[in-house]
Amino acid sequence: MQMLTDVQWAKFEAAIAAVKLHRARPRKEDRRTIEAIIWRLDNGAKWRSIPAELGDRHHAYLRFRRWEVTGVWDKIMAHVVAEGEPKLAFACIDGTVARAHQKAAGARPSKPTR
């Protein structure tokens, strides 16, 4: 299972190299781990739902969390945007639910109480 094309991965790999991670541990299977993170974010699934062919789910979570805490994701995104990507509009999806009063939803009026 491959989430990124070779061209996309080359751009992402360049962004990772540009971030210059200080005192970083040697990373193994960068592409599989990043694709596992992308799969999880794209599907909105739980970490334990990551398919086995994308590698160790715990390792993907640890990388995601470590990079989130240290701000690596923000630096990668800043580099990608500085390079002229992405060529798409940013979109936000609001997951809140706005509830209306039952009478606003077309409920029948109740009988007046005496």
pLDDT, position 100: 62
Does residue 90 have a pLDDT over 90? no
Query: What is the reported pTM?
Result: 0.69
pLDDT, position 57: 92
Q: Cβ contacts of residue 11 below 8 Å, gap of 6+?
A: 80, 83, 85
Share of residues in the chain with pLDDT > 70 (%): 72
pLDDT, position 62: 92
Share of residues in the chain with pLDDT > 90 (%): 17
Q: Tens digits of per-residue pLDDT, 28-51?
A: 778 899 999 989 988 888 999 999
Amino acid identity, residue 47? Answer: W
Question: Rounded to 10 degrees, what is the CA torsion of 10, 71, 69, 49?
Answer: -30
